[in-house]
Chain A
Amino acid sequence: MESKSFPGIVDSLDSLREYIGELAQQAGLAKKPTYNLKLAIDEIATNIILYGYQAAGMEAEVVVLSEITGQELVVILVDEGAKFDPLGKELPDSDYFSKSLEDREIGGLGIFLTINGVDEFSYQYSEGKNRNKFVMKIAAT
């Protein structure tokens, strides 16, 4: 797998999205799946940086592992923050989405957009690290 590291600060999000855009282009993803993957990775990376690192007073990197096979683009975000499973949190349900803006509690939207935007999303904690895995299927041409 290819590996690239980014400093765990919000200023990195821009270059992280740009890098994901390059990977998506190499994999031949269309515009919409490319955007959805950038969005998914931006959301999870934001959580890692704000809650895993900044709120905990930690300075560490976010590592992007990637692999392009004939059928899919796999991206894994690896971080050293406290164990956090994004899938462990309750997602907003239809009741939430029918609420008017002023009645909404804030939160959960990012993880909803992540899961909704990629073909597969999974989480693993191993060797003291969080691993958030994103898979995009490459459409046969």
Chain B
Amino acid sequence: MAFQIESVVEDKVAKLTLHGELDSLSARVFQTEIEKIAGKEIDSLVLDMEELNFMSSAGLRVLIYSKQKIGPKLSIYIVKPQELIVDTLEKTGLQHSVTIVDQFPV
């Protein structure tokens, strides 16, 4: 399924809604969005993954990149990720660096 992303920045919160499948092709689009918001003053990155069906390590790399680019104080929230994506986050230890939530604001 084609990857789509929508991005809204408001009150230091960047909310990105991801749809479809995140692989090494679509990760470029995701990374470009991160680069765009990195220039703004934000303290929270909210990634709505309810409609995301697949995420490879290329997607994980963009999560790592976000923290490195925007700064260690950035809080990353992942809203409603699908079970198999949570699996990947857990296997790779990334669940310790992000907060998985059912909604945002929490």
B60 sits at the interface (CB 8 A): yes
The distance in angstroms between the C-alpha atoms of A110 and B65, with both chains bound, is: 16
Contact with B along A1-45 (1 / 0, CB 8 A): 000000000110110010000000000000110011011001100
Shortest beta-carbon distance from A32 to chain B in Å: 6
How many chain A residues touch B (Cβ–Cβ < 8 Å)?
28
A97 vs B96: C-alpha distance when bound (angstroms)? 9
A residues less than 8 Å from B101 (CB atoms): none
Give the contacting residue for B24; candidates A38, A46, A104; CB below 8 A.
A46
Task: List the B side residues contacting A97 at CB < 8 Å.
Answer: 92-93
Q: Bound complex: CA of A50 vs CA of B25, how far in Å? A: 10
> Which single member of B56, B71, B72, B96 contacts A43 (CB below 8 Å)?
B56
Contacting pair B61 A106 (CB below 8 A): yes
Q: Which of B54, B63, B67, B93 contacts A35 (CB 8 A)?
A: B54
On chain A, the residues within 8 Å of B21 by CB distance are 14, 17
Given A11, A101, A112, which contacts B25 in the complex, CB threshold below 8 Å?
Answer: A11
Judge whether B92 and A113 touch: CB under 8 Å. yes
**Residue in chain A with minimal CB distance to B2:** A14
Q: Which residues of B contact A110 (CB under 8 A)?
A: 56-58
Q: Does A124 contact B (CB under 8 A)?
A: no
Give the dominant DSSP class at A's interface: helix
* Bound complex: CA A112 to CA B21 (Å): 20
User: Which chain A residues lie closer than 8 Å to B71 at the CB level?
Assistant: 102
Is A141 in contact with chain B by the CB < 8 A criterion? no
Complex alpha-carbon distance, A113 and B55, angstroms: 11
Point out the residues of chain A lying under 8 angstroms from B92, CB to CB.
97, 109, 112-113
Name the CB-closest residue of A to B73. Answer: A102
Instruction: Give chain A residues whose Cβ lies under 8 Å from the Cβ of B91.
Output: 112-113, 116
In chain A, residues 74-133, which have Cβ atoms closer than 8 Å to a Cβ of chain B?
96-98, 100-102, 104, 106, 109-110, 112-113, 116
Q: Which residues of A contact B (CB under 8 A)?
A: 10-11, 13-14, 17, 31-32, 35-36, 38-39, 42-43, 46, 50, 96-98, 100-102, 104, 106, 109-110, 112-113, 116
Chain B residues packing against A (C-beta within 8 Å): 1-2, 21, 23-25, 54, 56-58, 60-61, 63-65, 67-68, 71-72, 84, 87-88, 91-94, 96-97
